[in-house]
Amino acid sequence: MSIVNKINWAMSLREPQLEALTYLDAISSKLDYKNCSKEEAEKVAHENCEGNRSIMIDKDFHFPSFCFEIATGIGKTRLMGACIYYLYKTKGYKHFFILAPGNTIYDKLRKETMPHHPKYMFKGLEAEMGRPKVYDGENYLNYPAKFTQQEIYVEKTSEIQIFIFNIGKIFQRGDVQFNFHDFKECLGGSFADVLKSFDDLVICMDEAHRYYAPASKKAIDYLNPILGLEFTATPKPENRNIIYSFDLAKGAGKYLKIPVVMGRTNTAGFSDVDIEEMKIKDGIKLHEQRKAVVYKYCTENNLPQVKPIVLISCKDTNHAKAVREKIDSDEFFEGRYKGKVVEIHSGTTSVESDENIRKLLTIEENTNPIEIVLHVYKLKEGWDVNNLFTIVPLNAAKSEILALQTIGRGLRLPFGQITGQDELDTLDIVAHDHYRELIDDVKSNPIFKTRNLDENDVPQTKAVDVVAEFNDGQMALFQQTVEATAIKSFQDINDLKVQEELYKGYLKAFAKEMKPVKDDKSVDQMSLFDLEVLTQKVAEEPAVYKVDESKEQKPKAKTPIMKKEEFIKKIKKVAQRAVSVP
């Protein structure tokens, strides 16, 4: 079995990821990157890339660099992981520098190099490669290098080493936070010099279209890599080094949702304010219809509930605030979206911004109440969710509405594959004010579908709320219950004795959480009857946080107590999806 097939088998690559890796193999097997010239690399790449297209590497790079054009949602990061492991196994290269264009993607990449992350970039290869050593802007000064006889000495390693940095932190300038080019006694030089000392440094550029400014290219070239691998969904015209392309046209309807441009043609006589309100309300009506369809699909197929969300692009921070106030009001859809809106832009306070980012990062979870995200040019890249079904661009000119970086946020499939149901496999883009113009643009474009809401309006849909079996408070109590009862398997969940022990553990956890007592042993020794009496009493009393006695006590949000029948019903549903680990 070839190394490419082994990687494919271990990582369960998608077809486009496998094809991309195959073309890299066809080129790399004929080149020694440590010694070949750019001209030789261009010739071999031309002869072995997809379509034998002409390959021309950027004149400011003094090393071979090849680009993969991969549509958003196909899995660029997984492909990057496959390429890294391929070069490690076939060439023996151990040093890989991953470049991020901004903090959002930088943080995302750092998380995805952790083996426990669900989107781990080397998932499937754990047994083969072990855990790579990862250095980034937070820990790079711990790198084991030292200054010996006027030279930097780096200990030899048999493991893959990955370096993750933000492009803004590697320019040649003083930088308070990273000091990338400053001399460091602990390293015996600057960290840039440490990287330059490697004879096998490979640069992996995520969102590569962001690095074609002169300063960025100069900073990259300074590190003296032997190879560059570029990954982008939107290459620039000057990208003449594309060895494989799988764009949205190839992916829509197969690996990605199909974008549908929604609009109204009968808008004559309406003001801009009227049209904006019409777009927002139509977007929410589409959202409510989608929630009902998704809820039904998940229920009928015994799948965890998926919570659809809406992305609204605003003109500026004041506009975002006004839109939020409208959606957050009692008058808007009978107040159904109060507390379910989050703003992502530079105008929020640091505390509010941190809280909003937390909500954004957990927005796929049903315990997160947020259904509508308002942003001001902040979410074009690096935000990967699979439950975005509706985009309402309030800020966009015609050319921006169909921009791939914008609609790319909603192209991922909620169930990992095409279901065959249009309501589940499409992304709605509400664009009333430019609808007539857009129709002409997309007529000959196989990627997009269209829908005239004046001719095919959105029917009223009964409101559906998607919630988890347990809310945040109940889930915490459930975890305490499982730990306290030391249950090892849910296989015996129908055993009445097991059910009683679980419910007893739940009541104990509830009593301790909602009414802290000095002696927890008294709770632990209570009978089930006494616990039921105590917890019912606790549930009816006001609760307070444990705070400093010198400060005013604040009311504590109540977690409602569940009766035994309700608890057992929910625990059985959780058990159906739980995995017991021996």
What is the Cβ-side half-sphere exposure of residue 66, based on CA atoms within 13 angstroms?
32
pLDDT at 551: 43
Average pLDDT over residues 222-241: 93
Q: What phi-psi label fits residue 61: left (phi over 0), alpha (psi between -120 and 50 degrees) or beta?
A: beta
Question: Do residues 229 and 279 share a domain?
Answer: no
| pLDDT, mean of residues 502-523 | 67
Within a domain: 128: yes
Token pair in block for residue 100: 């991020």
Q: Compute the distance between CA of residue 516 and CA of residue 570 in angstroms, rounded to an integer.
A: 26
Per-residue buried b or exposed e for 222-244, using 16+ beta carbons within 10 Å of the residue's own CB: ebbbbbbbbbbbbbeeebebbbb
pLDDT score for 297: 94
Q: 452, 485, 516 — which closes off a domain?
A: 452
The CB-side HSE value for 142 (13 A sphere, CA atoms) comes to: 8
DSSP assignment of 462-516:
-------SS-HHHHHHHHHHHHHHT---STTTT-HHHHHHHHHHHHHHHHHHHS-
**Structural domain includes residue 466:** no
Q: What average pLDDT does this structure show over 28-32?
A: 97
For residues 489 and 159, the model is more confident at 159
Residue 74 sits in a domain whose CATH number is: 3.40.50.300
> Are 29 and 113 members of one domain?
yes
**Mean pLDDT, residues 440-464 taken together:** 77
Instruction: Tell how far CA 93 is from the center of its chain.
Output: 29
Write out pLDDT tens, residues 369-428: 899 999 887 665 667 789 999 999 887 665 554 566 667 788 899 998 999 999 999 999
Same-domain check for residues 33 and 126? yes
CB 229 within 8 A of CB 79: no
Distance, CA of 465 to CA of 334 (rounded, Å): 14
309 pLDDT higher than 60: yes
pTM above 0.95, yes or no: no
Q: Taking residues 480-501, what's their average pLDDT?
A: 67
Say yes or no: 236 and 269 in one domain.
Answer: no
CA angle 207, 211, 215 (to 5 degrees): 160
Domain that holds residue 17: 3-246
User: Would residue 458 count as lying in a domain?
Assistant: no
Is 176's pLDDT higher than 70? no
Please state whether beta strands 95-100 and 201-206 pair in parallel, antiparallel, or not at all (unpaired): parallel
Selection from 272-286, 434-448, 482-496, 551-565 with the highest mean pLDDT: 272-286
> Residue 550 has what pLDDT?
45
- Does the pLDDT of residue 545 top 50, yes or no? no
Average model confidence (pLDDT) across the chain = 82
Predicted pLDDT of residue 185: 67
Q: With respect to residue 168, please indicate whether it lies within any of the assigned structural domains.
A: yes
Whole-number Å distance between alpha carbons of 258 and 255: 10
Please give the residue that has the higher pLDDT: either 321 or 501: 321
pLDDT tens-place string over residues 114-155: 998 888 999 999 988 888 999 998 888 888 876 665 666 676
C-alpha separations of 432 from 208, 272, 370 in Å: 33, 11, 25
User: Which is it for strands 145-148 and 151-154: parallel, antiparallel or unpaired?
Assistant: antiparallel
Compare 514 and 295 and report the one with higher pLDDT.
Answer: 295
Q: Using the predicted structure, report yes or no on whether residue 350 has a pLDDT greater than 90.
A: no
- 151 pairs with which residues across the strands? 148
Q: Is the pLDDT of residue 275 over 70?
A: yes
Does residue 493 carry a pLDDT above 70? Answer: no
User: Quick one: 27 and 51 in the same domain?
Assistant: yes
Give the residue from 219, 217, 218, 221 showing the smallest Cα distance to 208.
217
What does the alpha-carbon distance between residue 63 and residue 37 come to, in Å, rounded to a whole number? 7
Q: Select the highest-mean-pLDDT range: 102-116, 414-428, 509-523.
A: 414-428
Q: Are residue 229 and residue 263 in the same domain, yes or no?
A: no
The C-alpha atoms of residue 202 and residue 132 are separated, in whole angstroms, by 15
Segment 236-241 shows an average pLDDT of 88
Percent of the chain whose predicted confidence (pLDDT) is above 90: 42
DSSP assignment of 432-457? GGGHHHHHHHHTT-TT-EEEETTTSP
Inside any domain, residue 557: yes
In the block, tokens 């017991």 appear at 580
Split at pLDDT 50, 70, 90, the class of 89 is very high
For range 53-73, the mean pLDDT: 95
Distance CA 426, CA 431 (A): 16
Residues 406 and 534 in one domain: no
Residues 294-303 have a mean pLDDT of 92
pLDDT (0 to 100) of residue 543:
46
**Domain-embedded: residue 465:** no
pLDDT value of position 397: 61
Q: Are residues 150 and 203 in the same domain?
A: yes
pLDDT band at 50, cuts 50/70/90? very high
What pLDDT does residue 53 have? 95
In the sheet with 341-344, reading across from the earlier edge strand, the strands are 341-344, 372-375, 309-313, 388-393, 426-430, 258-263, 449-452
Choose between 309 and 541: higher pLDDT.
Answer: 309
Mean pLDDT for 327-331 is: 93
Last residue of a domain, one of 180, 215, 246: 246
Q: Domain check: are 391 and 316 in the same one? A: yes
pLDDT score at 335? 92
Going by C-alpha positions, the residue among 419, 421, 424 that lies closest to residue 389 is 424
What pLDDT is attached to residue 555? 46
Q: Give yes or no for residue 517 having a pLDDT over 60.
A: no
Average pLDDT for 489-517: 70
* The total number of structural domains that make up the chain: 3
Identify the weakest region by mean pLDDT among 71-75, 89-93, 261-265, 557-561.
557-561
Whether 444 and 540 map to the same domain: the answer is: no
Q: What does the alpha-carbon distance between residue 112 and residue 118 come to, in Å, rounded to a whole number?
A: 8
What is the DSSP code string of 128-166?
Answer: HH---EEEETTTGGGS-EEEETTEEEE---SS-EEEEEE
Same domain, 98 and 228: yes
Cβ-contact 246, 70 below 8 angstroms: yes
CA–CA gap between residue 86 and residue 80 (Å, rounded): 10
Residue 462 located in a structural domain: no
- For position 356, what pLDDT does the model report? 73
Last residue of one domain, picked from the residues 246, 276, 311: 246
Claim to verify: residue 429 and residue 298 sit in the same structural domain: yes
Nearest CA-CA partner of 429 in 454, 405, 457, 448: 448
pLDDT of 558: 53
Residue 413 counted as domain residue = yes
